[in-house]
Structure 1
Amino acid sequence: MINNNLLKEDETIDDLQINNLYIIQKRNGYKFGTDPVLLTNFAHIRKFDFVVDFGTGTGIIPILMSAKYPLTKFAAFEIQNEMAEMAQRSIILNNLEDIIKIYNEDLVNANKIIGNELADFVVCNPPYGKINSTLLNKNQNKRFSKHEYNIGLEDIIESAFKILRYGGKLAMCIPSARLLELMNCFQKFNIEPKRLLLVQSYIHKAPYLALLEGVKGGRSGLHILKPLIIYNEDRSMSDEAKIIYNKKTS
């Protein structure tokens, strides 16, 4: 039974359609989109890994990952007080307190909180918009979630480098136009790009999203996966996307 006592007036409880998991979100604020779902599916995590999520927002990534990896422990960082508190209530709602720890902290301090070279895997769905190149959203939660308002790619990747063990992995998603920038940042901090997935809305459209996984101290050699097509020409969801979203295929 859902505990509605965890819900505030301006919030909703949404069914994630997997393992009876739910998430609390703002009615008119930031809501998770497709990117965290794709990133959760893309990341190759082992069942006993210690996984860190940078900029967890509503807590969507560790909550989704808990369904696939029930023996995995998660640490999730969120600098916004309101978002971190809401994510914590989602953790309680799903009885995940023993495996997901929310830190209302700046991710640049992650190594001071959880230690150096202890994480097996870091995931991050970063804010995409550069301050000087996109209009800032008036809603504070959306502004922090969509724009590099207080942090950039290098800050994120340097922090990941500090907490990852040698051979540990970092997985991120980014608009395809910024893929080269992301790959250069990976290599700057000795995280070698190893797997790349490009996402297209339709087969005739150019990729709009890139998902990149790198290994700390890894050897060179990039494996480019078959592109993921989200929709068929008739605008129905593709079978590949249905599998990711746990929907029945035709």
Structure 2
Amino acid sequence: MRSFTIASLATAASAATQIPFFIPGMAPGNDIVQPVASIVKADPSTTIMALACPTGTSDNSECPWGELDMTVSVIAKTEYAVSVPLAQVGFDCTSKKDMTCTAMIAAEFTDAGMTGFTQGGDGTVTGTTVYSSGEVFFQTASVTAGQEKLSAAAGAGESGPAKTTGAESATAKETSAVESTLKTTGSAAAATGATPSESGASPTAAKPIGASSAAPAEATGAAARFGVEGVALLALAGAAAMHAL
């Protein structure tokens, strides 16, 4: 029945606009239903979309996308910025020769195994890892709302040269937005004494990163990769996923 459901959803979505995006650790054959997308904003260089589960799927078991309010920005088709304010998680992946991913997460949700992360003064920790081209597998979102925004953006791009805001400007804005979200939610929780569950995130018996906070901010080893992929899984399935790895 589940295979039939997935096949039916794939057939129904085949006529929709497909937007590829990247999330660390998502390999082929994971049997996860691909998300649907509502376009929040679109211009010739940047598409911002909110992800959700297709109608008829169950959250978590078949489709993790609808568990948290996840927003993905595709910038110049080479950068993928993800923000999940409810889980106080964000990450940014840039594709050149390889894919470089930087993950940001509120310090209280980190795991002791997340070596290669650096403690910030704003209540967040940051880690970076690099994926070779053979390790990069894209997910696909089917647009179900906001198609007119994509059409308008495409028309604007064809009518003349795009304004020189550039992908770097869009990238800076998205990165700033993610960092601002983490700082705001982290500060609010600290000021009110709220627990993770009270501040809107899944409860977890998180451990401090301890000695790992002194590690370099950029690392390509297995430990750092565990951390970056763990943050991605956290964004998909809630804080408990970090401890289920």
Q: Do these two structures clear the TM 0.5 threshold for a shared fold by scoring above it?
A: no
Give the structure-2-normalised TM-score: 0.27
Q: Which structure's relative contact order is higher, taking Cα pairs within 8 Å and 6+ residues apart?
A: 2
